[in-house]
Amino acid sequence: MTRSAELAESLALSRGGSILLAVLDGLGDVSVPELDGRTPLEAARTPNLDRLAGNSALGQHVPVAQGITPGSGPAHMALFGYDPVSNLIGRGVLEVLGIGFPLRMGDLAARINFCTLDEQGIIIDRRAGRISTEESSVLAEMLDDITIPGVEVMVRPVREHRAGVVFRGKDLHDGLDDTDPGAEGLKPKPVVSPSRECEHTASVVSEFLVQAEGMLKNRDRANGILLRGISVNREYPRFGERFRLNPAAVAVYPMYRGLASLLGMTISNPSPADLSGQAKAVSEALSAGHDFVFLHFKYTDSAGEDGDWKRKMSALEDFDRALPALLEPGFDVVLITGDHSTPCPMKQHSWHPVPLLLHGGFQRVGWNDSFTERQAASGAVGTVASTDLMPLMLASAGRLEKFGA
Instruction: Using the minimum distance from each CB to a second copy, give the nearer residue, 88 or 325.
Output: 88
> Which is closer to a second copy, CB of 261 or CB of 383?
383
What single-letter DSSP state applies at residue 148? Answer: B
Question: Are 62 and 383 within 8 A, CB to CB?
Answer: yes
Per DSSP bridges, beta strands 162-168 and 57-62 are unpaired
Query: Shortest distance, CB of residue 188 to a second copy, whole angstroms?
Result: 21
What's the burial of 175, exposed, middle or buried (CB within 10 Å: 0-12/13-18/19+)? middle
Report d(CA 121, CA 108) in Å as an integer.
26
Whichever of 28 and 270 has its CB closer to a second copy, that residue is 28
C-beta of 22 vs 384, nearer to a second copy: 384
Smallest separation, CB 293 to a second copy (Å): 19
The whole-angstrom separation of Cα 256 and Cα 318 is 20
CB of 141 to a second copy, least distance (A): 25
* Burial class, 170, CB count within 10 angstroms (exposed 0-12 / middle 13-18 / buried 19+): exposed
Interface residues with a second copy (CB under 8 A)? 1, 3-4, 7-8, 11, 30-31, 37-39, 60, 64-74, 84-85, 88-91, 94-95, 229, 343, 345-346, 348-353, 362-367, 373-374, 377-380, 382-385, 388, 390-395, 400-405
- State in angstroms the smallest separation of the CB of 58 from a second copy: 10
Task: Compute the least distance from the CB of residue 18 to a second copy, in Å.
Answer: 17
**Can you list the alpha helix ranges (DSSP code H) found in 288-378?**
299-305, 309-327, 373-377
Tell me how far apart the alpha carbons of residues 296 and 298 are, in angstroms, rounded to a whole number: 6
Cα atoms found within 13 Å of the Cα of residue 96, Cβ hemisphere only: 27
Contact indicator for 34, 353 with CB cutoff of 8 Å = no
Indicate the pairing of strand 123-125 with strand 108-117.
antiparallel
Cis previous bond, 47, omega within 30: no
Residue closer to a second copy, measured from CB, 22 or 109: 109
CA angle 135, 139, 141 (to 5 degrees): 115
Say if CB 127 and CB 276 are below 8 A apart. Answer: no
Residues 375, 308: Cα–Cα separation, whole Å: 23
| Nearest CB to a second copy, comparing residues 44 and 117 | 44
The sign of the dihedral angle between the CA atoms of 132, 74, 298, 370 is negative
Choose between 46 and 372: whose C-beta lies nearer to a second copy: 372
Instruction: In angstroms, give the least distance from the CB of 357 to a second copy.
Output: 15
CB of 238 to a second copy, least distance (A): 20
Closest distance to a second copy from the beta carbon of 97 (Å): 10
**Least spacing, CB of residue 159 vs a second copy, in Å:** 15
Nearer to a second copy, 215 or 380 (CB): 380
Nearer to a second copy, 29 or 320 (CB): 29
